[in-house]
Structure 1
Amino acid sequence: MVHTRCVTDLLSALTRRALPDQIAGIIERPARESRTQPWPSWVDPRLVEALAGAGASKAWIHQARAAEAVHEGRHVVLATGTGSGKSFAAWVPILSELLGFSSQRVSLASLTHRPTALYLAPTKALAADQMAALDALIAAAEAGARVGVATADGDSDLSERTYARDNADIVLTNPDFAHHVMLSGQARWARLWRGLRLVVVDEFHNYKGLFGAHVAHVVRRILRIANHYGAHPSVVFLSATSGDPAATAQRFLGDSFGPVQAVTEDGSPRAGSQIVLWRPAPVDSAPPDSGPPSDFETTTKLATDHDPDELPSEDAPRRAANSEAGDLTAFLVSQGARLLTFVRSRPGTERVAEIARERLEQSSSHLAGTVAAYRGGYLPEERRELEGRLRVGDVRALATTSALELGIDISGLDAVVVTGWPGTHASFSQQIGRAGRAGRPGLAVFIGRDNPLDQYLLDHPDVIADTPSESNVFDPSNPGVLIPQVCAAAAELPLQESDATVFGLEGTELFDELAREGLLRKRPTGWFWNTTLGIGAHETVSLRGEGSTISIVDSGDGAVLGTVDSARADTTVFPGAVYLHQGVPYEVEELGSEVALVHRHRDEELRTFAREETSVEILNTDESIELSTGVWALGTVVVSSRVVGYDIRRARDGMYLGLVPLSMPVRELHTSATWWTMNAGAVKEAGVSAADLPGALHGAEHASIGILPLFATCDRWDLGGLSTAAHLDTGKATVIVHDAVEGGSGCAQRGFDAGLAWIEATLEAITTCSCTAGCPRCVQSPKCGNNNSPLSKHGAQDLLTVLVRSMRDDRPKGQL
């Protein structure tokens, strides 16, 4: 039996533990009563009984309304809070139909049209979790009827895939498998397409940026194939609370398949809960029962923006957020809590778990083994084991990346610790919503990191409490996404004129253009993929911008410890790196193109941190407009990065022990960019001093990247940038905004085309922001690699004022 502490007791204990200035505020989330109604009359009685056994004898109003819409054949987006039982709204209609179908006497011919459903999740773990829940519900409802459910993904063996393809009524998978296997070999999955009644897109709010744009086309192609086989399935989007879900889902699906109905009124209960805003303790004041400090770094509290006359003052150095998270995790576990601790990086999860275990060894040694790390790169079996142990209580705390932000059903959690702002309000809401699910109260602790963004949030709790969740930002019409997706569709079935609307096109001009370029072949019966190119159309699509993965192998026994994306390998498993796996340090012997060999590290005290150099070179200019201030340009750039060495630090106290130089290869990203320059006269006109110029350019870069999604319908995480007071290629003060994927995504192009409107909006965002020195609403960025330093809000405003004036006065007719 797992015993947990009530949230009131946990909050009281946390308050007693805190030093006078550590709690920056407590946000109260009010309780909400449940609102229910009977399940619709068409729901199979056996299923109603099974739902009652699962604690859902009545439907929450949002479940009933969404299920009714799906039953009537409509597309629906259900956007309600974490733990509100959204999946029931999708499964009830299809399970009722399958149970009724199985009970009928049917002919052999009609068996080929047995109802089927396809479930898409952004992660394999979520599909596996849904599989377990469905199996339990079906087992309670079948009463002799057979309903087959199967997962099919990259981890499935041949027999599992064969069963899913040939027999399963409900197939649970992810967009990657759907694209690379099911759609590329669509004829082999004809049984599924013929009977397809329902497509479930789970965790819809997760589909943003280029990934969201690609998956939008994957879903449209699934509907196109189903229509070809005579099926017209409904699509149900299951989403956390988000901005304008109806418009977002409609943009995702396009106009070719009909309207999308939104259900957003949440009928699930919510107990009152608290969000504690927490500052790390000063370095020289160890928290009670926490043992000696173990910071890798010290931090400095920044002055607030409340008083315009207040000068920045240096406060006592504070402990690193990860060290604080490890201590709080141990403390909450010792108080009887079960929790998740979200950490911003993979190495961070290992460190936080390690610190928590060390603290528990000192104070509650019997609990030290109940804390573990959970992150990408672990083998699937290891992740499933950790999830299972957390459910039953063998593991009481997991230090995790955002991998557990998604809706895996882990009930009974008392608390969540969020280490650093996760980037969006939607992600923050998802993370804190993991505690206190299904009407139980929960406690969340937000630990501010050492950057202006987090410090601003600690000083302005209203930004966390009152800001609504963002809308998904993606653009299916992005040429870098649209063209390979059209080619993949042509390889599945020849394109017809009527298919233009599937891809949001007004006509077939793009099909003809791709035929002229040799990618497609036009025939009387349609446009076909050109198979003579020697590459499959589906191979040209990179849903996640992914590359290959590198296996991390123990050279002693040949065991595979995990994997790492090749793009991260240079900074994670470089030769000499200390690689942590569940708290056990391994030293990297060798990094190859497919394998990184490691062995147990002799000194468990040492940790390594990569040093990386990055530059952006302008390769060519495709378009440019001369201005009195400089140039407004679009072209191709190469973003070069290289690991030049690594720092060695002692784990116990973070002491710097030296730098080891490395000679690693340069990694290059060829992509598209928009840039503008400011000549000496323009800088002088703006009144920006040489000392303030780097911060002014940096602020302008951040603000413009933050505003560009308004014009490019992308996500700021799909963009990168650089600002410098004297760029090598331009010889002038320069701001570069580039696409963050190989070959470009079209976002920079759209920024160039938006021109004056983009920069005017950027200037307005800075000018109208009420802060004094810059904040997340204007010039700070959650993804800044330089920790938002240096930044000059007023300098950015002055530079952009001059730039806007020049663009208005100097622009050639019809441009900018």
Structure 2
Amino acid sequence: MSSARKTSRRVRAQAGALAASWRPERLIEKTSVTPLLEGNLLHVVDEPRPASADALVQHLRDTLAARADEPSAVLVHERALAAQPASGGVLRPHLPAPLARALVRQGVKQLYAHQVATVEALRDGKNVVLASPTASGKSLAFALPTLERALTVPGIRALYLYPTKALIGDQLRAIQALIGHLPGEPRPSVAVLTGDTPREQRVELAANPPTILLANPDILHHSLLPDHRRWRGFLANLGIVVIDELHSYRGVFGAHVALVLRRLRRLAAGYGARPAFVAASATIANPVELAEQVVGAPFVEVHGDTAGSGPRRFLFWRPPLRGDQSANEHESVFLEAATIFAEALRAGYSGILFGRARVSVERMLLDVQRLLGPQLAGRVSAYKSGYRADERAQIEAGLRSGQLRGVVSTNALELGIDVGALDVAVIAGYPGSTMSFWQQAGRVGRRAEREAVVVLVAGDDALDQFHIQHPQAFFGRAMEQAAVDPSNASILVGHLVCAAAERALEPDDLALFPTNAARLVERLADAGELSQGPPWRAAARGAHSEVSLRGTSRDPYTLQTERARIGTIEPPYLQRECYPGALYLHNGRGYRVASLDATTRVVRLVEESVDTRTSPIVEIAVAPR
């Protein structure tokens, strides 16, 4: 048996005792003063500034890793990646003077080379896909050509599509900040269209469309396209469509979105518009192929990341063995990750702890807060889907300002939401793909002068153990390819009916869709879902409500306490977390599910201690045919 598999010591220092006994000032070089607002009171807090990554890693090795007979059985691999310098570019011809002045007012003195290349490609009339790590300036890369056209082409409109509402809120803030620095009036306008947008506001947006409309594919499918005649002023002037987080449009969801975009192109062309497309993606192996499959048009790629990055230290961590050593079971990956994260925060670092599931994120938050104690516990928050928009915005702002020192998140923060400059990322279990790992690791390391630390804590499953035992292979492997198949017949038929409901399908329209569309149209006509054609028309109303982009019904339920609405929850999380009698956790607070009303779609909660936990009973019945 190798030293990496030796038993843990029979007598271990408990994680809580380690946190309590360790004196963090040993790792702290200096302190700074940070003002914190609580209600109407201003508190001044001494802020520890972390010393080098070497000091933190050595502390983790001497304390947490030392619980095993061989610390190398716990801290199994360490690797340093050097800082990468940024590469700038010069745009010729220059941006319009008002836009250039707005950038200077925001502190942007020079563009990155990939931002320049994106603007130039769009000027040449090409569709562009930009694939690079998170926090590399992709949002500015597509905002610049949009605003350039808005300032030089009267009446032009742009559509920005995001996979989540949280991203929309974050990008709205960033775009408004840039537009706010433009001199003179009138400035380009920006607005949001989602399922939360009231009906009367949708009517107003359609009648007086903004320059830039931020939306998600769901509202495009359920509202804008079926109601396209009301939106004809927007569609007729549509000049740019931005698809952010392109890598998220894979599998079934990606196939649905690909067909929604073909319907959008068809209707826009009917009003005389042929917009250019910009797709922004995480680093994947096949960005051009994915963009062309999703949009159905040719693309060119802007290569690489020229934004640079700070130095990063990677640690591969295996929790010590517990109990019977022959069982080969390790301490909880969640408690281990929470303990490492708490140690880093106590040492003055700011950071993010990633969990794979919503429930584990809430449990890890409780562990982190318990380990930190009352002085720091209030400066750590959870983050997941279902939080109210104002609560998410408050958490994001707290991270950017430094009022929050840490966040425990699902992969909701893997996407490009601005969370400021963080210094440590702890990943509780391999996130399932190389792309996701690097997205999560990319949330830290923006500071060129400070080495960030990324810790992958392995769980007991085989894939986690394989990766930490083969670090050379892990760091040498290529990114995965993203796959989507819009020709899937079971998905395509629904969108063909939707397209026919929006406007009668002509034979020439079928060229926009996958090659099997013609055969499926004939089948739909024979089944009576379309009229005999050409042209083909939908035989009944309500086609759009029959097609769910995300595979299942995701109409949210409201989470209602005795005092207030605290958020929403959607299937399938509803069945897993909010069954009657369940203990539901929300950002460090516990609630008991009192009732679930399917008619009003309300989950009623009463406050409960977080000291207990519940698990759903899953019954599977197999019946013969």
Give the TM-score, by structure 1 length. Answer: 0.67
Map of 1:564 onto structure 2: 569
Correspondences of 1:696-735 after superposition (within 5 Å):
none
- The C-alpha deviation readout for 1:238-264, integer Å capped at 9, x for no partner, is 00110121122112222xx4x211112
Correspondences of 1:45-64 after superposition (within 5 Å):
45-64=97-116
Correspondences of 1:259-658 after superposition (within 5 Å):
259-282=298-321, 313-315=326-328, 317-361=329-373, 365-437=374-446, 441-505=451-515, 508-523=518-533, 526-531=535-540, 535-547=541-553, 548-554=555-561, 556-557=562-563, 559-593=564-598, 594-601=601-608, 603-614=609-620, 619=625
- Give the direction of change, closer, same or farther, for the CA distance of 1:322–1:591 in structure 2 (3 Å limit): same
Query: Structure 1 CA distance, aligned partners of 2:394 and 2:248?
Result: 24
- Give the direction of change, closer, same or farther, for the CA distance of 1:514–1:375 in structure 2 (3 Å limit): same
Q: What amino acid is the match of 2:369?
A: R
Give 1:617 shift.
5.2
Identify which range, 220-229 or 606-615, moves more after superposition. Answer: 606-615
Unaligned 5+ segments in structure 1 are 102-110, 284-297, 302-312, 620-816
Q: What amino acid is the match of 1:446?
A: L
Percent same amino acid at aligned positions? 34
- The C-alpha deviation readout for 1:331-366, integer Å capped at 9, x for no partner, is 1111111111111111111111111111111xxx32
- Give the direction of change, closer, same or farther, for the CA distance of 1:424–1:48 in structure 2 (3 Å limit): same
Q: Does 1:18 align with 2:25?
A: no
Query: Structure 1 CA distance, aligned partners of 2:575 and 2:290?
Result: 37
CA contact (8 A) 2:319 2:336 kept: yes
- Give the direction of change, closer, same or farther, for the CA distance of 1:586–1:448 in structure 2 (3 Å limit): same
- Give the direction of change, closer, same or farther, for the CA distance of 1:615–1:466 in structure 2 (3 Å limit): farther
Q: What amino acid is the match of 2:607?
A: R
Query: Structure 1 CA distance, aligned partners of 2:377 and 2:604?
Result: 29
Give 1:157 shift.
3.5
Map of 1:132 onto structure 2: 173
Q: C-alpha root-mean-square deviation of aligned residues, in Å?
A: 2.2
Query: Structure 1 CA distance, aligned partners of 2:192 and 2:446?
Result: 26
Give 1:12 shift.
4.2
**Larger-gyration structure (1/2):** 1
Identify which range, 122-131 or 324-333, moves more after superposition. Answer: 324-333
Q: What amino acid is the match of 2:591?
A: Y
> How many residues matched?
568
SS at match of 2:438: helix
- Give the direction of change, closer, same or farther, for the CA distance of 1:376–1:507 in structure 2 (3 Å limit): closer
- Give the direction of change, closer, same or farther, for the CA distance of 1:48–1:523 in structure 2 (3 Å limit): same
CA contact (8 A) 1:268 1:438 kept: no
Instruction: Select the residue among 18, 30, 34 that pairs with 2:86.
Output: 34
Unaligned 5+ segments in structure 2 are 1-32, 35-46, 66-70
Query: Structure 2 CA distance, aligned partners of 1:576 and 1:379?
Result: 23
- Give the direction of change, closer, same or farther, for the CA distance of 1:523–1:577 in structure 2 (3 Å limit): same
- The C-alpha deviation readout for 1:658-695, integer Å capped at 9, x for no partner, is xxxxxxxxxxxxxxxxxxxxxxxxxxxxxxxxxxxxxx
Instruction: Select the residue among 255, 260, 265 that pairs with 1:218.
Output: 260
CA contact (8 A) 1:150 1:160 kept: no
- For CA contacts below 8 A with separation 6 or more, give which structure has more relative contact order: 2
- Give the direction of change, closer, same or farther, for the CA distance of 1:402–1:604 in structure 2 (3 Å limit): closer
Give 1:320 shift.
0.6
- Give the direction of change, closer, same or farther, for the CA distance of 1:611–1:450 in structure 2 (3 Å limit): farther
Map of 2:185 onto structure 1: 144
Query: Structure 2 CA distance, aligned partners of 1:383 and 1:7?
Result: 31
Q: What amino acid is the match of 2:560?
A: V
Query: Structure 1 CA distance, aligned partners of 2:113 and 2:623?
Result: 56
CA contact (8 A) 1:199 1:236 kept: yes
Q: What amino acid is the match of 1:328?
A: I
- The C-alpha deviation readout for 1:517-554, integer Å capped at 9, x for no partner, is 11111355x111113xxx41111211001323333322
Q: What amino acid is the match of 1:457?
A: H
Give 1:84 shift.
1.1
- Give the direction of change, closer, same or farther, for the CA distance of 1:541–1:507 in structure 2 (3 Å limit): closer
SS at match of 2:617: strand
SS at match of 1:135: helix
Query: Structure 1 CA distance, aligned partners of 2:489 and 2:303?
Result: 32
Map of 2:50 onto structure 1: 5
Q: What amino acid is the match of 1:520?
A: L
- Give the direction of change, closer, same or farther, for the CA distance of 1:164–1:464 in structure 2 (3 Å limit): farther
Give 1:282 shift.
4.7
Query: Structure 2 CA distance, aligned partners of 1:353 and 1:115?
Result: 46
Query: Structure 2 CA distance, aligned partners of 1:404 and 1:597?
Result: 28
Give the TM-score, by structure 2 length. Answer: 0.86
SS at match of 1:521: coil
Query: Structure 2 CA distance, aligned partners of 1:6 and 1:74?
Result: 47
Q: What amino acid is the match of 1:429?
A: W
- Give the direction of change, closer, same or farther, for the CA distance of 1:605–1:53 in structure 2 (3 Å limit): same
Query: Structure 2 CA distance, aligned partners of 1:493 and 1:318?
Result: 60
- The C-alpha deviation readout for 1:310-335, integer Å capped at 9, x for no partner, is xxx545x5321111122222211111
Query: Structure 1 CA distance, aligned partners of 2:463 and 2:262?
Result: 38
Q: What amino acid is the match of 1:418?
A: I
Identify which range, 472-481 or 501-510, moves more after superposition. Answer: 501-510
Query: Structure 1 CA distance, aligned partners of 2:616 and 2:445?
Result: 38
Give 1:99 shift.
1.7
- Give the direction of change, closer, same or farther, for the CA distance of 1:251–1:570 in structure 2 (3 Å limit): closer
- The C-alpha deviation readout for 1:594-617, integer Å capped at 9, x for no partner, is 33322122x542111223233555
Map of 2:139 onto structure 1: 87
SS at match of 1:574: coil
Correspondences of 1:650-689 after superposition (within 5 Å):
none
